[in-house]
Amino acid sequence: MAESFKLRIVSPRGLLYEDAEVSSLVAWGAEGKLEILPGHVRFITPLRIEEMRIRKGLGRRRQEERWAVSGGFLEVTPDLVTVTTTAAEAAEEIDVERARQTRERALAFLKNGEGEGIGLTRARWSLRRSEIRLRVSTWREAIEKEEKFR
């Protein structure tokens, strides 16, 4: 059995990530949290607006990257996993201040009860995306602090 698989993350902006040495991918599909390992059976599932974890290596040598993903689809074949999404950001790419401002605007919109229908739906999605972005960026900050003490 292979120890790794190739992962690609694509969006309308193009190829966001590609690595052939991924040992595990943790994502949130339509039915909940799932982990993809090398040699996984073929399937496709919608993705939730949620964080995604890319793991490389095993044991003490394992590295993990976290991404904020704005929904999309996950397609799995035995040696290639493709995430197709409208937007995705690695933890280090997230503009924390912008995510906070977006969260505050969405909360204010929802609190004031402005709009209905599509405006309300967009505000909820915006709130969810900003909260995921903040969670992923907070993880990054915690790792950076930990590395300073090593």
Which of residues 58, 76, 91 is at a domain's end? Answer: 91
Q: Do 98 and 64 sit in the same domain of this protein?
A: no
Cβ neighbours around 28 below 10 Å, total: 20
Q: Do 110 and 68 sit in the same domain of this protein?
A: no
Residue 118 clears pLDDT 80, i.e. is over it: no
pLDDT in tens, 29-55: 989 999 999 999 999 999 999 999 999
Of residues 110 and 12, the one with the higher pLDDT is 12
Q: Do 84 and 98 sit in the same domain of this protein?
A: no
Which of residues 91, 107, 125 is at a domain's end? Answer: 91
Residue 3 clears pLDDT 80, i.e. is over it: yes
* SS3 (DSSP) at 23: coil
Q: Do 55 and 36 sit in the same domain of this protein?
A: yes
For residue 41, give its domain range. Answer: 5-91
> What is the C-alpha R_g of the chain?
17
The candidate with the shortest Cα–Cα distance to 85, out of 102, 99, 68, 98, is 68
Q: Do 139 and 99 sit in the same domain of this protein?
A: yes
The whole-model pTM stands at 0.83
Q: What is the CATH number of the domain that holds 14?
A: 2.60.15.10
Our separate counts of H helices and E strands in the chain read 2, 8
For the chain, where are the alpha helices, taking DSSP H only? 96-112, 118-148
What is the structure's pLDDT at 25? 97
